[in-house]
């Protein structure tokens, strides 16, 4: 799972200082406010928050602007990062549903439907 969309990036666009908390929020799908509050509590509790923030700011790459096409794609990739197997099951279920609905449509049009045939003949 070494896709560009599954890596951790600093999010300078939505970030306040270096974009580390916004990057963590984007990576996990948690609201950035909670990540910032968690970072403050971690800093006050252990004192390692600021050095950790600086290290991540220096080591993490800046988030590419073209990473997600839209909000739905961003939500999908956050789900992939959180639980790849669950996301794969969801995609398989969606594909089965699409296949089932397509089979129903195909059966409707392929079957001998006198009403549909009459409507098509009226349009000619």
Region 65-79 average pLDDT: 71
Name every residue whose Cβ is closer than 8 Å to that of residue 104 and which is 6 or more positions away in sequence: none
Region 67-85 average pLDDT: 71
* Portion of the chain with pLDDT greater than 90, in percent: 6
State the pairing for strand pair 9-10/61-62: parallel
pLDDT of residue 28: 80
The pTM for the full model equals 0.56
Name every residue whose Cβ is closer than 8 Å to that of residue 119 and which is 6 or more positions away in sequence: none
Which residues share a beta bridge with 61?
Answer: 9
pLDDT of residue 120: 73
Q: Look at 4-8, 12-16, 56-60, 89-93 and tell me which has the smallest mean pLDDT.
A: 4-8
């Amino acid at each position: 799972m070494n896709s560009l969309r599954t890596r951790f990036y600093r999010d300078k666009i939505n970030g306040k200082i270096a974009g580390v908390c916004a990057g963590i929020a984007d990576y996990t799908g948690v609201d950035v406010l909670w990540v910032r509050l968690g970072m403050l509590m971690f800093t006050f509790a252990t004192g390692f928050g600021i050095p950790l923030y600086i290290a991540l700011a220096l080591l993490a790459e800046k988030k590419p602007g073209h990473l997600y096409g839209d909000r739905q794609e961003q939500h999908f990739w956050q789900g992939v990062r959180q639980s790849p197997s669950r996301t794969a099951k969801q995609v398989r279920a969606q594909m089965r549903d699409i296949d089932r609905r397509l089979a129903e449509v195909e059966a409707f049009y392929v079957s001998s439907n006198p009403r549909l045939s009459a409507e098509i003949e009226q349009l000619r």
